Structure 1
Amino acid sequence: MTSLRSALSFAAAIACIASAPALAQALTPAETAQIDRIVAKNLASSGVPSASVAIVRGGQIVFARAYGRQSETTPVARDDAPYQIASISKQFAAAAILLLQHDGKLSLDDTVSKYIPDITAGDTISIRQLLSHTAGLQDYWPQDYSFKAMATPVSPQGIIDRWAKKPLDFTPGTQWQYSNTGYVVAGLIVEKISGQPLLDFLKARIFTPLGITAYDQDRAIGPGFPQGYGRAALGPVRPVTPAAPGWLFAAGELSMSARDLAKWDVARIDRTILTPEDWKLQETPVKLADGSSNGYGLGVSTGATGGRRYVEHSGEAVGFLSENIVFPDEKAAIVVLTNSWSGNATGAIEQAIAKAVLPPPPADAADTAALARARAMLDQLRTGALDRSLMTEDSNYYFTDLTLGDYKSSLAPLGKPVSFVQTGKTRLRGGFVNRNYKVHLGKKDFVITTYAEPGDKGRYEQFLVAPAVS
């Protein structure tokens, strides 16, 4: 399953990816030491017992390491230990469907009733809608805890009988609502068409070719495997009881190491295993009937932040949280797996690693040019030599001789800017382009708020300099 907690962790992680100097692809000793500090700090502050981390840069796995206490009986963390990756498994189930479609054995637009009988509105729900969470089937595990029925073993058919035969939550294709139930149905379709258990199909077509060791999480329990932990509020961190067998299936049944999950990320970057067309299909947001989309494709979330595209999914199993994010254009990926479903260590670790090892997002050419113009304008105000042809009528009205004199007398003694960076996003307002900057002059910080006419030579309607609020 995926959770609000995991979603918020991811949102924080991608929002805080920051600029860093251009880097060689291999990690430097300093970067490796920094990652060690990042993980140690977040495990200590959160109480999460352990983490397994892998990093892809330049299309290659450049880092894989495990930390902390993986179980009560594991003296040293192993980087090949398989953590439960939960809903990250969904992209593999979706990939199985795409492989079967490529083989000509089914179509994403086939209805569910063609393969699985007695599902509510099965004659109107498509396989594509199952994989994109737009089918309307009620989710059987929305909770962030193991509910009562999960103490008893279940089969995929048992889940379908209890949840997939209820009235739909909405007409298929009209809304998006995360549904583990839909993936259980999709997994049964894979098994029916392929004639194999889902995990066997995945091993034959994906895991063995990529050298990935994957387990059914129901069997990745006990000596030699990471233990899941939890915490109630600020209480002690305690081992948790795994769910009884059968509860995740295609919705999240896989366990693997961070390194092995990173091998899949490399396949995504290189467009191997699946055809380039099928990779693109998985990463294309599915649209609702009204034409809207939240960016979810077939088992993955997609989007862009700071000029950088990403393909992502998080996961939550009983006692485990996980995050996997790929930046296709940079040929980079970060995997963070933890053995506690309490706290925010997973997102905090990823956020800090992204800041430490990823190159800056590509600069926007218009913003880069505007920053140079803004810096030159500040120099004019510092010296009192204002080129009024660069200002609009209103801006020239504002900059009286007295105002210009105040700018010169107060700013000139501080010298040239030590730093000059844009803050926030460029936006339109009142027919002008708004950009804001933070500037360090002397020992003081200032904010500059600008409005300019559109275009690379647009005149300034506003150029205000004010002390930054500390």
Structure 2
Amino acid sequence: MRMLIVSGVVAVMTSLTSTAATPAPAVDSAAIDAVVDEYRRAIGLPGTAVVITHGNTEVHAAGYGRTPTGEHVTEHTPMAVASVSKSFTALAVMQLVETGRVNLDQSVQVYLPEFAMADPRATEITVRQLLDQTSGMSDTTFPAFSRPQPSSLVEAVAGMRGARLAADPGTQWEYHNPNFQVAARMVEVTSGQPFDEYLQEHVFGPLGMTDSRTVDTARDLPPSAHGHLRILGVAVPLPEPPAFGNGSGGVLSSAHDMAAWLIAQNNQGRGPDGTSIASAATVAAMHTPSTVSDSYALGWSIGTTASGAPLIAHSGDLFTSTAYQALLPASGYGLAVMANTGLAYADAAAIAERLIALLENTPTPPTGPPLAMVDSVLLLLVLAAVLLGGFGVHRSGRWAAAGTGRLRAAPRLLPLVVPLVLFATIHRAVGLLYRGRDVTWIQVTYLYPTFMLLLATATLACIAVLVARLIALAR
């Protein structure tokens, strides 16, 4: 049944490729520049790179603004593509499937004996289930970020030995970065090459992607590939928080290189010069949703555009940069955007949404309320917390004198401890808001910097008042 579906998709893609060969709607570089420049001015985006392809042709590739280190962003500036990396890992695995060295529906442990978990069900996890994220692994049972971070794919897989599954393999879809870390390590063991070396030889090299590579951890990112937080509309350069990402989010690429990647996806596995990195059937299989989730395939998300047209895409989110890639099968377009601001702002996806509207000649989505206004309100509350804390310390003597004894004072002091408890556990509360995803405390600070400043100020103010009142009671 799965092969019939893939064959059908191949036939549809062949038909769409023929359609894409017809003259494209008139979208020129000036119109694309205007969309990007207007967004950058409205939002205060420091730097971005954009590429649009049509069929086997690059329509536009350019950089805008500056990197955190002050260089101009160009079409050859390597930028982090974050979870867009998953589609590269999926292709690497599928190449091994093509050559017969890997079977998608075989147990992962057949190819990667070192992969073991405390849960006996892990022996049932197939290669396909890693790539379509139905393995049963989950942030709720194996924290991706809050555990000690590995420094290599070997360590990443070894760290899973004490973990359990959240569901039976193949029964539930859940986004989980370690799925693709296991897949990347499987590529290393099966091919006998380090993962970056494999991608250079079998993907980046054949496509002429000379600006691209993959790294293990956030500390391996070059300074120019870090990003920014925006506070009061001002972009503040910051390094990416510590994390491991090879296989799941470690690829660096440029607008120039992403053009070749998009062309291969829209051209049945053939790059700009006709070099094949995968068969048409393989590409179609990667774009076919799983039987468990109709919105996720093998390293790609499946959906529709605002106009209802088919959309094959994947976003990528780091805490100081974002990325987005999309294929529009009905028109033959492909596009990719990299932005050097973090996931709190979703700038890459927002620019991509506007470019898709341009390509489809539909209304441009409205720009949301400026976050600078939210920052202003939160900073005013910071000032209020300081003033209230000072007032509480000043009046602590009167508070103690007006009380009815030390024992009865304890319940009146307990509310002052609440901000401290929230400050220490805020990452768990945010994780619940993100549907159980694992989030560290420092990552929350990157997500909501002014809110965390308010929470820290309120915590210190309450502690100061608490200490002052205890001293007053003792006297």
TM-score (norm 2): 0.63
Query: Alignment partner for residue 189 of structure 2, among 185, 189, 192?
Result: 192
Alignment of 1:76-95 (within 5 A): 76-95=72-91
* Counterpart residue number, 2:228: 229
> What is the deviation of 1:300?
0.5
Helix, strand or coil at the partner of 1:67: strand
> What is the deviation of 1:77?
2.3
Query: Alignment partner for residue 111 of structure 1, among 97, 107, 110?
Result: 107
- Sequence identity (%): 29
More strand by share: 1
Contact kept, 8 Å, 1:26 with 1:57, in 2: the verdict is no
Q: What is the CA–CA distance in structure 1 between the aligned matches of 2:29 and 2:157, rounded to whole Å?
A: 46
Q: What is the CA–CA distance in structure 2 between the aligned matches of 1:35 and 1:96, rounded to whole Å?
A: 32
Q: What is the CA–CA distance in structure 2 between the aligned matches of 1:339 and 1:154, rounded to whole Å?
A: 24
Alignment of 1:281-430 (within 5 A): 281-288=285-292, 293-305=293-305, 306-341=307-342, 342-358=344-360
Q: 1:238 to 1:163 in 2, by over 3 A?
A: farther
Contact kept, 8 Å, 1:124 with 1:172, in 2: the verdict is yes
Q: What is the CA–CA distance in structure 2 between the aligned matches of 1:231 and 1:162, rounded to whole Å?
A: 35
Q: 1:296 to 1:153 in 2, by over 3 A?
A: closer
Cα deviation per residue 1:291-331 (whole Å; 9 max; x = unaligned)? xx232111001233445222110101241101100012311
> What is the deviation of 1:195?
0.2
* Counterpart residue number, 2:213: 215
Q: What is the CA–CA distance in structure 2 between the aligned matches of 1:235 and 1:162, rounded to whole Å?
A: 40
> What is the deviation of 1:149?
5.8
Name stretches of at least 5 consecutive residues in structure 2 with no aligned partner. Answer: 1-21, 270-276, 363-475
- Work out whether 1:170 is the aligned partner of 2:167: yes
Amino acid at match of 1:352: R
TM-score (norm 1): 0.64
Helix, strand or coil at the partner of 2:225: coil
Contact kept, 8 Å, 1:25 with 1:58, in 2: the verdict is no
Q: What is the CA–CA distance in structure 2 between the aligned matches of 1:177 and 1:188, rounded to whole Å?
A: 20
* Counterpart residue number, 1:384: none
Contact kept, 8 Å, 2:137 with 2:176, in 1: the verdict is yes
Q: 1:220 to 1:108 in 2, by over 3 A?
A: same
> What is the deviation of 1:229?
1.1
Q: What is the CA–CA distance in structure 2 between the aligned matches of 1:102 and 1:320, rounded to whole Å?
A: 34
CA-based RMSD of the aligned residues comes to 2.7
> What is the deviation of 1:197?
0.8
> What is the deviation of 1:173?
1.0
More helix by share: 2
Helix, strand or coil at the partner of 2:345: coil
Contact kept, 8 Å, 1:111 with 1:126, in 2: the verdict is yes
Could you tell which deviates more after superposition, 303-312 or 63-72? 303-312
Cα deviation per residue 1:399-441 (whole Å; 9 max; x = unaligned)? xxxxxxxxxxxxxxxxxxxxxxxxxxxxxxxxxxxxxxxxxxx
Contact kept, 8 Å, 2:78 with 2:225, in 1: the verdict is yes
Alignment of 1:244-255 (within 5 A): 244=242, 247-255=244-252
Cα deviation per residue 1:106-131 (whole Å; 9 max; x = unaligned)? 10111122223323433111110011
Alignment of 1:110-189 (within 5 A): 110-114=106-110, 115-117=112-114, 118-119=116-117, 120=119, 121-139=121-139, 154-163=151-160, 165-189=162-186
Q: What is the CA–CA distance in structure 2 between the aligned matches of 1:50 and 1:196, rounded to whole Å?
A: 34
Q: 1:303 to 1:73 in 2, by over 3 A?
A: closer
Q: What is the CA–CA distance in structure 2 between the aligned matches of 1:140 and 1:330, rounded to whole Å?
A: 40
Max Rg structure = 1
> What is the deviation of 1:209?
1.0
Q: 1:73 to 1:267 in 2, by over 3 A?
A: same
Aligned residues: 325
Amino acid at match of 1:337: M
